[in-house]
Structure 1
Amino acid sequence: MRPRLLTGLYSAAAIATLGLLVTSCGPRPPSISATDHSALSTMERVMLNANACWFKSADPAFAGYQLAPELNSYTGRPRILVVDKKHPAGRPSLVVQAEGNPAQLQAFGPMMSGASGGRITGDVNRWAAGTKGC
């Protein structure tokens, strides 16, 4: 007899139930669902935190820049751009993009070799892993 594939809410419920059964047998795994590791989900987390921590908080390192999210990517690489406020159509100063599931992140651009490069790397890695906040 072939197993029947579950769809929609039934599959989510089955996965959750299976997760409870598995976790009751040993150490508890991190509470991140499989979809949270996709490129889009990862970049959504990074974008929300970058917006709050870098831009809305009036961080001086990002004062001359604005966030330009490009999450709807047909190439499978959602990304966020940090662009100059005075020239938003110009070349980005920072690009953070992800690809695959689990997501593989890349960050590049002039800001990565500047004074904020290490901080940007740390922030993006924390946010991609699911940590919230600045």
Structure 2
Amino acid sequence: MISGAACFAGLALMAGCQASPTPTAPSSGGKSAALRNMEQVATAAHRCWFASKDATFSDYSFANELNSFSGRPRFLLVPRGDYGGRPLLVVQAEGAAGTVTSFGPLMDGPSAARISADIRRWSAGGTDCAGTA
């Protein structure tokens, strides 16, 4: 018959033989790539287009929808003061890579090239506003 002390010692030895846990990469706080990318793009868009009082965007309001359960965090530009209005620009990210896309009537207008360049720069990690380095 095995004594309790011998059994305990055997379990302790077996526990010591187990592989140690593998280190994991630093956590991103549980955020998806899409959310991380959209946070960066939305922050830059708000700072460069709205907080700076850029005249190009004075007729629009910024509607943040980063807390999306669809897996596509986004922000919208809507007519100024009409947050429930038809979006004139939708900027969203999706997929494992967090690919940022934009669409809406503003992408067919005179500001389309600038909007595209800004979004492309911000989604690549840039933080500067248009025309600055």
How far the C-alpha of 1:58 sits from its partner, in A, is 1.0
Residues 53 and 36 of structure 1, relative CA distance in 2, 3 Å threshold: farther
Structure 2 match to 1:4: 21
Structure 1 match to 2:60: 65
Residues 6 and 61 of structure 1, relative CA distance in 2, 3 Å threshold: same
What TM-score do you get using the length of structure 2 for normalisation?
Answer: 0.75
Structure 2 match to 1:22: none
| 2-structure distance, mates of 1:104, 1:127 | 12
Aligned to 2:82, which of 70, 82, 87? Answer: 87
* Alignment gaps of 5+ in structure 2: 1-17
How far the C-alpha of 1:105 sits from its partner, in A, is 1.6
How far the C-alpha of 1:61 sits from its partner, in A, is 1.1
Matched, 1:110 2:124: no
How far the C-alpha of 1:36 sits from its partner, in A, is 8.9
- Which one-letter code corresponds to 2:118 in the other structure? D
User: Which structure has the bigger radius of gyration?
Assistant: 2
* Alignment gaps of 5+ in structure 1: 14-32
Question: Which deviations, in whole Å up to 9, do the C-alpha atoms of 1:2-32 show, x marking residues without a partner?
Answer: 673335xxx429xxxxxxxxxxxxxxxxxxx
Detail structure 1 runs of 4+ shifted over 4 Å in the superposition. none
Secondary structure, counterpart of 1:40 in structure 2: helix
Question: Which deviations, in whole Å up to 9, do the C-alpha atoms of 1:82-131 show, x marking residues without a partner?
Answer: 11114221111100000022111210001000001011010001001111
| 1-structure distance, mates of 2:88, 2:20 | 51
How far the C-alpha of 1:68 sits from its partner, in A, is 0.5
The sequence identity of aligned pairs, in percent, is: 45
Residues 76 and 85 of structure 1, relative CA distance in 2, 3 Å threshold: same
Structure 1 match to 2:12: none
**Count of aligned pairs between the two proteins:** 111
Question: Which deviations, in whole Å up to 9, do the C-alpha atoms of 1:28-81 show, x marking residues without a partner?
Answer: xxxxx9x99810010000111000110111111100111111000111000000
